Structure 1
Amino acid sequence: MNTSDVFEALDALQSAGVPCWVAGGWGVDILVGRQTRPHRDLDLAVDAAHEADALGALELLGYRIETEQRPARVELAAGGQRWVDLHPVAFDDEGLGRQADLGDGFFLYPHGAFDVGTLADRAVPCLSAAQQLDFRKGYALRDVDHHDIALLTAWGIGQTTEAPGRWAFD
């Protein structure tokens, strides 16, 4: 995935009215303001209430479901070169989010889990540094995880903002 692929997917989701936040490696790069490594896919936390709209918008770009693990995640592929991994997050009345995991548990998305970073001088909604670090616990870390953790640590967890729980594109 390159920057234009990321923006193409984000633009399609914005046009479809889908609130989403970039996570994973691209989310880290958005927090630090530049691409720091190659990325196989684009991880997106999406408002679960808009999951069908997200799938429809990405289908128009040629994406098809490749890995089905709902309600935890669904991975889509386009042409064997681009992948988008959707992580549906259900929000309660207070704006706190929950995403199912692959077992019987869930991941929490508190209000401080959301932030806004930049990529190619464009503001992009993403997960906060603290949330990104939290998601890199409980499994054997790969080289890319060590890279991302080093960037997040250098970037500084204290720089996160208290963005509203349902922040979407302007």
Structure 2
Amino acid sequence: MPDVRMDATKVHEVLAALREAGCPCWISGGWGVDALAGRQTRPHRDLDLAIDADREPAAMAALVALGYSVETDWRPVRVELVEPGDGRVDLHPVVFERPGGDGRQAGLDGDWFDYPRADLTTGTIAGRPVPCISPRLQLGFHQGYEHRDVDRHDLALLRALTGTP
């Protein structure tokens, strides 16, 4: 079992800090799937967040103020921050074509991931609404790599939520 430290309280703490810093974000990954389900369905090692790339410095400063530090820096693709003994936040900077427009995140091999504005939605974690990405986008992001047990769990949940076989 992975080192599980990112609980719902930590998720809300990170979201509040980013909101205070004026940094729009949307939950993806495992917590994003659970937000869409409206309940926590499994333990989580980290919190994956798509953030507005223009606000990345503010997001980094907000997380550093919470005690996080950079562990993995693959910008512009992603940057992972850790808080000793407590949690991990994986930021994915998304460049938006204009305010309120669609976005695009750089990929590792020169490719990219599209974030249509229509796929930025709302879910629920611990009874509170949170920004997250749609089931359709989550399903798309689970393509092109070998799935781990947690990925298979998330895919099964996404398929149940969308009625996709």
TM-score (norm 2): 0.93
Shift of 1:36: 0.5
Q: What corresponds to 1:72 in structure 2?
A: 77
Q: What corresponds to 1:95 in structure 2?
A: 101
> 1 CA distance for matches of 2:86 and 2:122?
27
**Once the two structures are superposed, what CA deviation does each residue of 1:86-108 show, in whole Å capped at 9, x if it has no partner?**
00000003611000011111111
SS in 1 for 2:47: strand
> 2 CA distance for matches of 1:79 and 1:61?
11
Shift of 1:112: 2.4
Identity of aligned residues (%): 56
Q: What corresponds to 1:156 in structure 2?
A: 162
**Once the two structures are superposed, what CA deviation does each residue of 1:32-76 show, in whole Å capped at 9, x if it has no partner?**
001100100000000001000000000010000000000000000
Please say if 1:135 is aligned against 2:141. yes
SS in 1 for 2:43: coil
Match among 12, 31, 34 for residue 29 of structure 1: 34
- Say if 1:63 and 1:77, in contact at 8 Å, map to a contact too: yes
Q: What corresponds to 1:107 in structure 2?
A: 113
CA-atom RMSD in angstroms: 1.3
SS in 2 for 1:50: helix
TM-score (norm 1): 0.90
Match among 52, 62, 66 for residue 67 of structure 2: 62
> Gapped runs of 5+ residues in structure 2?
1-5
Letter in 2 for 1:49: D
Structure 1 segments, 4+ long, off by >2 Å, are none
Please say if 1:146 is aligned against 2:146. no
> 1 CA distance for matches of 2:127 and 2:162?
20
**Once the two structures are superposed, what CA deviation does each residue of 1:141-165 show, in whole Å capped at 9, x if it has no partner?**
111111001111111279xxxxxxx
